[in-house]
Each structure stands twice: as C-alpha cells, then as structure tokens.
Structure 1
C-alpha cells in the first residue's frame, strides 16, 4: 500500500466504527442493518473522493508516467491514425515516426526495413541517416532473430560513431506473420531504456497494419488478375461477327459501316484501357449501349433493347466490366437461338435509404437449363460463347465482401433475369 494511503485506511476504519456506534449501539431500538451500511458507504465514498492522494499517489519528479487506462487510449488513437496501411515505405515510416515520437517515452525514434533506415527523429539523426543501412549491432540481432532487444548501455548498443549521444534503447521487430520485415527503435540519451511493453505494444500494432497492407495488396492483385481474365474472355466470335457485319455494310451503306467501326474502336478502347476497379455507372452504361448497338447491327430487328435507367444512377460507382458481360450473356444465351429474337432490358435504380445501387438485366429469350446455368456460374461459360459469371461474382466478393447480391433466375423457354445489388459509392 502506498504511504499516502495509510491515513485514508485509518479514517475509513474509524468512520465505520463511529457509524456502528451511532446506528446500532446508542439508539434504542437500533437502526436497520441496511441503513447502517448505506450511511457507512456514503461517508466512505465522500472520504475517498476527497482524498486524491490515495488514488493518485505522491507526486514524483521527472517524466510523467501514463496510467494503464491512459496508455490504452493512446494506443487506440495511434491504431486509428497509423499510416502503414500502404506498406512499409519511407513516406509511411516518416509519418509513423512523427506520430509515435510523443507517446513512446524515448528521445529518438527510428523505423527501418531489412535494408535501410526509413525514418529517424531525434538526437543522433546526423549519423543515423535515412537511406543508410541500420548501424547498431542490436538492430542486426533483432532483424536476424525476430526478438525484442533491450540495451542499457552505450557499449552494447554498438553504434560505430564515437560521438553518438544515444545510450540505451528498446528495439522491437516488425513482422508480417513470422517474417521480420523491419524494426521499431526507441532510444534514450541516458542509461534508462524506454518501457519495453510500450514499444512492443506499438510494434505489434504496426505489424498488424503491415499485415493488413499485404492482404490488401494481395487482394488487389487477385482482383486485377480476374479483371484481366475477364478482358481476355471478350468473345473473339463477337469481334469476327462484328467485322463481318461492317464489311457487309461497307458495300451497302458505307456511312453506317464507318459509324460501326468507330463504335467497335470505342468498345475495345474502354475494355482494354479502363484503369481502376470502379467507374461511374454512366461510363458502363455508355459501354453497354455501344456493345448493344454493334449487336443490333448484326441481328437487326431480332434484337430489341429497352433501357430504364434512373438519372441518379449515372454518378454512382460500379465495378468496371460487370454489366456488359451480363448483357452479353442475355444476347448470346437468351436471344441468339430464338428464331424471332426478343428483348433485352436494362434497369437501374438507386435506393438512398439502403444506400444501394440495383441493376437488373433481363431477357425474354430461350432461358437456360440448370446445367448451362451451372457451367456459366462455375466459370466454364466462356467455352460456350459466354462470359463466366463466377469470375464476376469473385470480383464482387473481393471488392465488397458480403455487401453485395448477385441473383440469377432462369426459366427454360421463358428467359433469364439477373439482379445485382451493390453498395452505393
């Protein structure tokens, strides 16, 4: 018990004795036990609140030490602000050092990767230079063994500069899984090292953010790969058939052939050169209309198109190259084999209450058998002239997690309806 707490303890004991006497001994009859307890608790609470030294302890000279609760709030604030979600880069390390320096209890703070110092702030920055290899022997040990090192004197620190002011340090590894990718180093200019648990705790937070950054990068690579695969699945028969249509028009209607050729150029320019994974619906809408105009040139009156698009949808963001493949499947699998053709409908709405964008692609064509629908959703549809719906579903999963819905209903002989619902963006 702290020395400052003894007077309070004695006062509480005397108080309960006094309360017992005036409520149980002197009165006749004595008060109820509940009343005695409540009176005693009330006076004890007043004494405790009015005696702050018992809670705070005696004042100490030197640096202020944060209480565990305050440290926890500091960690939470740092966790929210940590700039390492983009990876262990020099810019991210520089911002992290600037954020961490006030809360780590050290004079200097540095972050390194395995090859070089990424950021350094505080005394010693004249020779612990950003871009150089880590100089101290302790840093090399941490990178090699993946365990925190506490250094309590300058000799064990192992800095080759004889004028280095740094005397002690705590150096913690930054790791992604079991792979050490760098270090967090906190130095002091005296021989009292910084608190190890604080440094290790913040190194753990940093490592978690680096793991999330790597997962984000891997997910982006996976989505990129699926987008490239989708581009590669653009049906070569569509190109050949469109070129044949243009060649035929060139003899009978040269002006129409020229327009179709420009539309075909727009189609492939958008499909191949579109950057990023999200675009405004208006751009996808233009792409769909370009595609359908080329198909209408081929099928003529057998292919009818109806658009029902809320103008509010045009500025909403949707995944690139997602709507056109759904429309293409409607044409290829719904209407191409129907003698008198049919109608493809595109409907799009925004629901501001649920903050979702709803897109429906439907046709009144021949529909699909359960076996064909299974092949399309499993990714084998491209082999039959369609675009695999499984690829689209996996891209949506990578972009939105569980926050999307892709429902397909097909009645053989009566057509197909595809409903897509994604978060409004």
Structure 2
C-alpha cells in the first residue's frame, strides 16, 4: 500500500475512534447510534475530499506532471553532451516519434520524397555529418557534406554503399580509401552502411557518413535500419492489401449479373412499344446504374451514393417484376453522410430479389434499413425479404449467423473478404433465414 493511502486509512480510523469517544463515552447520556454514524461519515467524507492537499501535500501543476510522466526516478532533464537543453529535448522528442512510428515518411514507401524527409530527420539523431538513403541503384536522398556529387537521384558512388546492398550486411568504413568515392576532395572519410530489407529482399540502404575517421555508432544505425525496414514492410503490405481490395471490387463489378442486363433490356424493349416515355426513363436509369458501378473510385463512398445506386437498381427491377416486387426503405438521415464500402449493399439487395422473391409466385417485399449508432461508432445496414428463404443445409454453407463469415453465394464471399481487408475483425456479416418465411442479412461496419 502506498504511504499516502496508508496515512489516509489510519486517519479515518482515528477519526471514527474520536467520534465514538465523544458521542458514546464523553457525552452523558450517550447519543444515539444514528448520530454517531452520521458524524463519523461526515468527518470521513471531509477527510477524503481534503486528502490531496491536507495529507498528501501540494500536487505538481498538471502541465508539469505531463512533462515528468515517464521519466525514470531521479532522472534529470539534462541536455545531451554537446547540445543545449532545448536542442536535447527536441532531439529526444524526435527520436520518440520515429521509434514509435509516428510521422515516419517511409511508412508510405521507398520514394525520393519520403527518403529526403527521413534522411533530414535522422541526420541529427544518428551522430553523422551526412545521411544517404538509396534503393538498389540510385541515391534517393543525400543530406550533408558531399551532396554536391553524391546528389539525390544520381547513381550510388560510394563503394561501401554498393557493397552493403550487394552483400546484404552492414559495412563499416574507417578510412577514405575504403569509401570508394571516385570524386577527388570528397569530405567524407568514414561510414556505416546498413541494408534495408523487406522480407528476404534487399531494397536499398541507409548510410551514415562522417568527415573524420571515427565512424558513427554501428548499433545505433543498425537499429534505425531495422525500424525503417519494418516500415517498408508495412508499406508493402498496405499496397498488397489495397491491390487485393481493388481486385475484389473489380470482381464485384464483373459479377453484376448479365441476366439482369438482358432482362432489363427486354423490359425496355417491351416498354418502348407500349410506353415510350417510361422506356426512355428506364434507359437513363440503366445508364446511371452502370456508370456508377464502373466509375466509382476508392473503397469507400458516402451511404447517400450507395443508396442512390440501390434505389436505381430496384426501380429497374420493379419495372421488370411489376407489383410482385415491393420495396420499403427505412433509412435514418444521419446515415447518409456515413462512409460505407462501395458495392456492398447492392449485391445483398440483388440476392434478396433474385433468390428470395423471384421464385415466389406472389412476390414479396424487400426492406432496406440503415442506422448509425453514435455510442458504438458503427453503421448497421439490414436487407430483409419475405421470400422463399434458405434451406438449413444451404444456410450452413453460407456461414449461418456467424459474425464476419460468408460462404458461397452471389457476392457474399467477396463482400466478406473485402470487409476483412478494410476493417479486419471490426465488422459483422450476419445471415439469418427461415425456409418459406424469408431472409435477413445484416452488415455492421465501423462508422467512418
């Protein structure tokens, strides 16, 4: 138990003892038990409220506590050797940001701009006079003495850098001749060069140069190279996830049922003889439908856009099915500005029409419900039909009501994989159905 807590507990016990002596022993006749309890409780409350100032002593100001938090006991905020207090604190803050991964430019990939900003930040931290970051062929960035001929965008001149990239291990150079620079009068005399690795591939290198024969600390440069390599691996994983998500989105576009197109075109052809104006309107809606499906960019869109897309699709289907297809919308206006995955709602609605109602002679109703929950920060979309339902064995293949799963079905597997790519485990895709009564599919995603 902390000293302050023990002191508070002892003080409260002593207070109750004093209250008891005063009310039950000193006073004659003794006061009632209720009076004693009230007096003791009041005194305890006053002690607890006054504890921070009366017993624990004055507290440090909030701003000071924030500065001191995380500092080892007895540590002093002294400047690092050779630097003033402000410079030392600034460098330490920069180091923490880099180690924690915040604002790390290479997190976006090994590009010239990211390399330049990274080299500029690392130069005062790694104890070198110049820092170079390269890919396998070119200097992406060079900051410090020697930048006139080790220019960014130029070929890798230093033999030490070429050797580190070729051998895939750290190279330490302690004399100008080992640097391998072919330009006379180069001020660089020593270097520590560490390859940057993604998986098992060497993709570049980071080098720290000095203008004297004592090279920079090897361990420090290697540690920083490991951090940079990790960020490059994360950047590559991000690119792969984006490519996979884009591929699944393209697959969803390709899955737009050609039978739907043929059926709508047949409907339009029929309407053109009986109602030319309606046929023209249907053609315009069909154009809007495919324009959105093909040209929509990115993985997320406002719900209002997806809502318009779904309404366009259902209006086309209603022209085909007539009174057999009824539609009900239950959409909270707050949802309209929320961002949802592109081409996620329409395939669910299409399943409801194609598999739920098309086979039912009298047709039925499709209901689209959407809500935002500000407390859980989620957007919920539910598609319900009162169609033929799904048999139990088929429902098991669709993943049942298990969150985040979907099996074979028009677009369902693809939707589930896209949601996993976008949100990890922070989504649910629930399917519930009763044969002969209908199906409910609910998607819940983080609010964006």
Specify the TM-score bucket, using the shorter chain as the normaliser: 0.7 to 0.9
The separation in 2 between residues aligned to 1:422 and 1:344, in whole angstroms, is: 21
Q: Return the offset for 1:380.
A: 4.4
Structure 2 residue runs of 5 or longer lacking an equivalent are 1-73, 400-405
Equivalent residues in 2 for 1:322-333, closer than 5 Å: 322-333=344-355
Counterpart for residue 160 of structure 2: 138
The separation in 1 between residues aligned to 2:138 and 2:80, in whole angstroms, is: 40
The separation in 2 between residues aligned to 1:61 and 1:262, in whole angstroms, is: 73
The separation in 1 between residues aligned to 2:323 and 2:92, in whole angstroms, is: 70
The separation in 2 between residues aligned to 1:97 and 1:313, in whole angstroms, is: 44
Contact between 2:160 and 2:191, CA under 8 Å: does it hold in 1?
Answer: no
The separation in 2 between residues aligned to 1:415 and 1:103, in whole angstroms, is: 64
Aligned residues: 364
The separation in 1 between residues aligned to 2:289 and 2:234, in whole angstroms, is: 36
Q: Return the offset for 1:371.
A: 3.8
Alignment of 1:159 with 2:181, yes or no, is: yes
Flag the 1:162–1:352 CA change in 2: closer, same or farther, 3 A.
Answer: same
- TM (norm. structure 2) is 0.77
Equivalent residues in 2 for 1:95-244, closer than 5 Å: 95-244=117-266
Counterpart for residue 301 of structure 2: 279
Flag the 1:158–1:246 CA change in 2: closer, same or farther, 3 A.
Answer: same
Counterpart for residue 271 of structure 2: 249
Counterpart for residue 3 of structure 2: none
Alignment of 1:421 with 2:436, yes or no, is: no
Contact between 1:379 and 1:388, CA under 8 Å: does it hold in 2?
Answer: no
Flag the 1:403–1:94 CA change in 2: closer, same or farther, 3 A.
Answer: same
Match of 1:262 among 252, 266, 284: 284
Deviation track 1:347-389 (CA, whole Å, cap 9, x = no partner) reads 00001111100110000011011343455566643xxxxx231
Counterpart for residue 86 of structure 1: 108
Contact between 2:139 and 2:155, CA under 8 Å: does it hold in 1?
Answer: yes
Flag the 1:122–1:366 CA change in 2: closer, same or farther, 3 A.
Answer: same
Counterpart for residue 77 of structure 1: 97
Counterpart for residue 14 of structure 1: none
Flag the 1:289–1:315 CA change in 2: closer, same or farther, 3 A.
Answer: same
Counterpart for residue 362 of structure 2: 340
Q: Return the offset for 1:61.
A: 7.7
Deviation track 1:285-327 (CA, whole Å, cap 9, x = no partner) reads 0000000000000000000000000011000000000000000
The separation in 1 between residues aligned to 2:297 and 2:324, in whole angstroms, is: 34
- TM (norm. structure 1) is 0.82
Alignment of 1:388 with 2:411, yes or no, is: yes
Flag the 1:376–1:388 CA change in 2: closer, same or farther, 3 A.
Answer: farther
Q: Return the offset for 1:225.
A: 1.0
Counterpart for residue 390 of structure 2: 368
Q: Secondary structure at the match of 1:114?
A: coil
Q: Return the offset for 1:195.
A: 1.0
- Aligned-CA RMSD value: 2.4
Contact between 2:135 and 2:205, CA under 8 Å: does it hold in 1?
Answer: yes
Q: Secondary structure at the match of 1:129?
A: coil
Contact between 2:373 and 2:379, CA under 8 Å: does it hold in 1?
Answer: yes
Contact between 1:376 and 1:388, CA under 8 Å: does it hold in 2?
Answer: no
The separation in 2 between residues aligned to 1:135 and 1:212, in whole angstroms, is: 29
Deviates more, 1:72-81 or 1:130-139: 72-81
Contact between 2:161 and 2:193, CA under 8 Å: does it hold in 1?
Answer: yes
Deviation track 1:44-98 (CA, whole Å, cap 9, x = no partner) reads xxxxxxxxxx989xx998579xxxx999865431132211122101111111112
Structure 1 residue runs of 5 or longer lacking an equivalent are 1-53, 382-386
Deviation track 1:242-272 (CA, whole Å, cap 9, x = no partner) reads 0000000000000000000000000001111
Equivalent residues in 2 for 1:291-370, closer than 5 Å: 291-370=313-392
The separation in 1 between residues aligned to 2:271 and 2:430, in whole angstroms, is: 39
Q: Secondary structure at the match of 2:307?
A: helix
The separation in 1 between residues aligned to 2:387 and 2:75, in whole angstroms, is: 78
